[in-house]
């Protein structure tokens, strides 16, 4: 994929705009439009767990000029797709549709940025929808919330970093329309957002359309984003969770990572380390724990609680997860992981390992950003979180510059005396406990 030439502008109301036209011959007549708001579940107030995700649902329930379901109808009637998602530090909304329908997408996003329909009926309806989503994805699913909901309360000590971003049912049920209005006023100002438009577009015409539709969205004060930093653990922290649906026990290990924004190269060394450990059948933990010693039926290492690296600001988490049989036991699994980390800390990966994983990462990055939806969302999140949309084009080079020594240093930093270990047991087993916690 050719690197897009980026064009930026900032409207008087504070909205930041990134345009990334696709100038390649034979390009598809398609555009992507996303809006990233600088608010995720780490920003939601105490007593309102799950509120950022609940509000994402409310943004699809009509707006100043549109009735409920109109957004769906207009995008799908244009042959497009749409969705939204809530992350630790941002919430995104996107459409991908034929380029002839670009103005329609801009009108839809501007209209709900100006005034979503925050009514008692919409709120109660979406609380029920979110509760059903939690039942489906967490409460009634084996390993639901493992590890992204269950591990943070063991590793972290502050509400922002440790609480359940999906939400407690009581908190969701007690949400009011006034809470929604306050949340919108605080976090959904134009100056707290990034609008990204990619694909088959003319920069001059698109700039005029952006001014036409977003220029009169009223500016509002944007509060300074608080730091969510907290100290690293000074010992190993342990937690237990009983899962009534899990057929086998599991264990998750959480380590703190370098700052993804301020220490990007050190963070990327951890991305490569995770790939050396579990990316593909030839990786170290797959070879040892799945094939050779047969300790686990599944093992994974990665950067980021939400399943993807570079998806959050500091603090971020390096996670291991493994599903094992009861006779193996969590301590044996953790011990095997520690031994492989010690080996990498001592001598680093081989040149062949490093070449393999960096080549796979580079190919995956290019493949992902060939898709309009991925390119749009990645540009928007990189601009919001890192202040640099160009980062998505720089990542292949920066990943390729990670050395054997960098990976060894990353492995050395994942110390047993500064981590969280969460043991998940099938409900009814002798060692199962009823709730997570620290010891």
Q: Which domains does the chain have, with CATH numbers?
A: 7-214 (3.30.830.10), 237-426 (3.30.830.10)
For the record, the structure tokens of 222 come out as 């944007």
What pLDDT, on a 0 to 100 scale, did the predictor assign at position 26?
79
* pLDDT greater than 80 at residue 181: yes
Residue 428 reports pLDDT greater than 80: no
* Stretch 283-303: mean pLDDT: 97
Please name the residues in contact with 323: beta carbons below 8 A apart, sequence gap of 6 or more: 143, 248, 249, 250, 296, 297, 298, 299
pLDDT attached to residue 367: 87
Give the range among 110-114, 233-237, 361-365 with minimum mean pLDDT.
361-365
Res 3: pLDDT: 64
Report the pLDDT value the prediction gives residue 430, as an integer from 0 to 100: 55
Q: Are 244 and 432 in contact (CB under 8 A)?
A: no
Query: SS3 for 68?
Result: coil
Confidence label for 366 from pLDDT (cuts 50, 70 and 90): confident
- The pair phi, psi for residue 338, each rounded to 5°, is -60, -40
**Quick check: 424 pLDDT over 70?**
yes
Mean pLDDT within 151-164: 98
Average pLDDT over residues 389-415: 96
User: CB-side exposure of 338: number of CA atoms within 13 Å?
Assistant: 13
**Position 2 pLDDT exceeds 80:** no
Q: Tens digit of pLDDT for each residue in 54-101? A: 999 999 999 999 999 999 999 999 999 999 999 999 999 999 999 999
DSSP 8-state symbol, 287: I
| pLDDT for residue 334 | 98
pLDDT average, residue stretch 284-298: 96
Please tell me the predicted confidence (pLDDT) of residue 370: 86
C-alpha neighbours within 13 Å on the C-beta side of residue 433: 12
The chain-wide mean pLDDT, for the chain, equals 94
Tell me the pLDDT band of 175, cut-offs 50, 70 and 90.
very high
Mapped onto helix, strand or coil, the DSSP state of residue 196 is strand
Q: Is the peptide bond before 344 cis (omega within 30 degrees of 0)?
A: no
* H/E segment holding residue 250: strand 250-256
Q: Residue 113 above 80 pLDDT?
A: yes
| b (16+ CB within 10 A) / e for 299-321 | bbbbbbbbeebbbbbbbbbbbbb
* Mean pLDDT lowest among 89-103, 280-294, 425-439: 425-439
Run of H or E residues at 420: strand 419-426
């Amino acid at each position: 994929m050719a690197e897009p030439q980026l064009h930026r502008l900032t409207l008087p109301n504070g909205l930041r705009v990134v345009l990334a036209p696709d100038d390649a011959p034979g390009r598809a007549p398609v555009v992507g439009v996303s809006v990233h708001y600088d608010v995720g579940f780490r920003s939601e107030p105490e007593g309102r767990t799950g509120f950022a995700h609940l509000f994402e649902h409310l943004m699809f329930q009509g707006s100043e000029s549109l009735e409920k379901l109109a957004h769906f109808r207009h995008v799908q009637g244009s042959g497009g797709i749409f969705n939204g998602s809530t992350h630790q530090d941002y919430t995104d909304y996107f459409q991908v549709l034929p380029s002839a329908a670009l103005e329609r997408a801009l009108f839809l996003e501007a209209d709900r940025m100006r005034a979503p329909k925050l009514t008692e009926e919409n709120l109660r309806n979406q609380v029920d929808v979110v509760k059903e989503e939690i039942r489906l994805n967490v409460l009634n699913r084996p390993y639901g919330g493992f590890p992204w909901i269950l591990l943070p309360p063991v590793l972290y000590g502050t509400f922002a970093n440790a609480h359940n971003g999906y939400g407690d049912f009581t908190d969701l049920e007690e949400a009011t329309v006034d809470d929604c209005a306050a949340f919108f006023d605080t976090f959904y100002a134009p100056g707290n957002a990034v609008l990204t438009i990619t694909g088959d577009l003319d920069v001059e015409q698109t700039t005029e359309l952006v001014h036409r539709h977003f220029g009169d969205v009223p500016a509002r004060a944007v509060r300074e984003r608080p730091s969510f930093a907290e100290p690293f653990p000074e010992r190993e922290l342990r937690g237990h969770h009983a899962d009534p649906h899990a057929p086998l026990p599991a264990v998750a290990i959480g380590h703190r990572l370098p700052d993804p924004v301020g220490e990007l190269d050190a963070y990327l060394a951890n991305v490569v380390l995770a790939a050396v450990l579990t990316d593909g059948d030839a990786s170290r933990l797959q070879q040892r724990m799945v094939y050779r010693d047969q300790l686990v039926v599944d093992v994974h290492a990665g950067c980021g609680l939400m399943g993807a690296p570079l998806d959050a600001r500091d603090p971020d988490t390096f996670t291991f997860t493994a599903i094992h049989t009861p006779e193996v036991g969590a301590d044996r699994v953790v011990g095997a992981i520690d031994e492989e980390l010690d080996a990498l800390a001592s001598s680093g990966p081989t040149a062949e390992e490093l070449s393999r994983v960096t080549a796979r990462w580079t190919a995956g990055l290019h493949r992902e950003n060939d898709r309009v939806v991925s390119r749009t969302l990645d540009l928007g999140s990189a601009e919001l979180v890192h202040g640099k949309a160009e980062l998505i084009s720089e990542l292949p080079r920066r990943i390729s510059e990670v050395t054997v020594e960098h990976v060894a240093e990353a492995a050395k930093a994942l110390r047993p005396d500064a981590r969280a270990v969460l043991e998940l047991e099938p409900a009814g087993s002798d060692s199962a406990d009823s709730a997570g916690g620290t010891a």
